[in-house]
Amino acid sequence: MSFNAGVVGASGYTGAELLRLLAGHGDIDVSVVTADSNAGKQVADIFPSLAGAYAGTELVPFSAEAVAGLDIVFFALPHGESQRFVPLVIDQVAHVVDLAADFRLPADSYAEWYGHEHTAPAFIDRFAFGLPELFRTEIETAQHVAAPGCYPTASSLALAPLLADGLVEPTGITVSAVSGVSGRGRGLATPGLFSEANENVVAYGLLHHRHTAEIEFALSHVAGRAVQVLFTPHLVPMTRGIHSTCVATPAVGGLSTASLLARYRDYYADEAFVFVLDEPPATKSVLASNAVQLTVRFDERTNSVLALGVIDNLTKGASGQALQAANMLLGLPEAEGLSAVGVVP
Per DSSP, what are the bridge partners of residue 144? 127
Does 197 bind a second copy (CB under 8 A)? Our answer is: yes
Residues from 177 through 196 that contact a second copy (CB under 8 A) = 178, 180-182, 184, 186, 188-190, 192-196
| Closest CB 215 distance from a second copy, rounded Å | 12
Q: Which of 82, 155, 293, 321 binds a second copy (CB under 8 A)?
A: 293
Contact 318, 150 (CB under 8 A): yes
Least Cα distance to 232 among 280, 192, 283, 178 occurs for 178
Angle of helix 132-140 relative to helix 211-223, nearest 10 degrees, comes to 80
The pair phi, psi for residue 238, each rounded to 5°, is -145, 165
Choose between 289 and 324: whose C-beta lies nearer to a second copy.
289
Residues from 245 through 284 that contact a second copy (CB under 8 A) = 245, 247, 249, 272-273, 275, 277, 279-284
Does 20 bind a second copy (CB under 8 A)? Our answer is: yes
Q: Write the DSSP string, 100-160.
A: SSTTTS-HHHHHHHHSS--S-GGGGGGEEE--HHHHHHHHHT-SEEEPPPHHHHHHHHHHH
236 by Cβ neighbours in 10 Å (0-12 / 13-18 / 19+) ranks as middle
| Closest CB 8 distance from a second copy, rounded Å | 19
Torsion (CA) 272, 275, 276, 282 in degrees, nearest 10: -160
Does 111 bind a second copy (CB under 8 A)? Our answer is: no
Does 198 bind a second copy (CB under 8 A)? Our answer is: yes
Q: What gap in Å lies between CA 49 and CA 165, rounded to an integer?
A: 44
Stretch that binds a second copy, among 13-21, 130-138, 148-156, 259-267 (CB under 8 A): 13-21
Q: What gap in Å lies between CA 171 and CA 247, rounded to an integer?
A: 11
Does 204 bind a second copy (CB under 8 A)? Our answer is: yes
Q: What gap in Å lies between CA 128 and CA 86, rounded to an integer?
A: 15
Binding marks (x or -) toward a second copy, 321..340, rule CB under 8 A? ------------------xx
Does 230 bind a second copy (CB under 8 A)? Our answer is: yes
Q: Which of 287, 325, 330, 332 binds a second copy (CB under 8 A)?
A: 287
Binding marks (x or -) toward a second copy, 43..82, rule CB under 8 A? ----xxxxxxx-----------------------------
Q: Active-site residue numbers?
A: 150
Stretch that binds a second copy, among 58-66, 81-89, 142-150, 238-246 (CB under 8 A): 238-246
Least Cα distance to 165 among 243, 92, 225 occurs for 225
Choose between 93 and 287: whose C-beta lies nearer to a second copy.
287
Choose between 152 and 281: whose C-beta lies nearer to a second copy.
281
Contact 219, 227 (CB under 8 A): yes
Does 213 bind a second copy (CB under 8 A)? Our answer is: no
| Closest CB 288 distance from a second copy, rounded Å | 5
Choose between 283 and 324: whose C-beta lies nearer to a second copy.
283
Binding marks (x or -) toward a second copy, 122..141, rule CB under 8 A? --------------------
Choose between 20 and 144: whose C-beta lies nearer to a second copy.
20
Contact 34, 10 (CB under 8 A): yes
Q: Which of 2, 200, 256, 259 binds a second copy (CB under 8 A)?
A: 200
Residues with Cβ < 8 Å from 8, sequence gap 6 or more? 15, 34, 62, 67, 73, 74, 75, 76, 77, 85
Choose between 89 and 286: whose C-beta lies nearer to a second copy.
286
Contact 341, 289 (CB under 8 A): yes
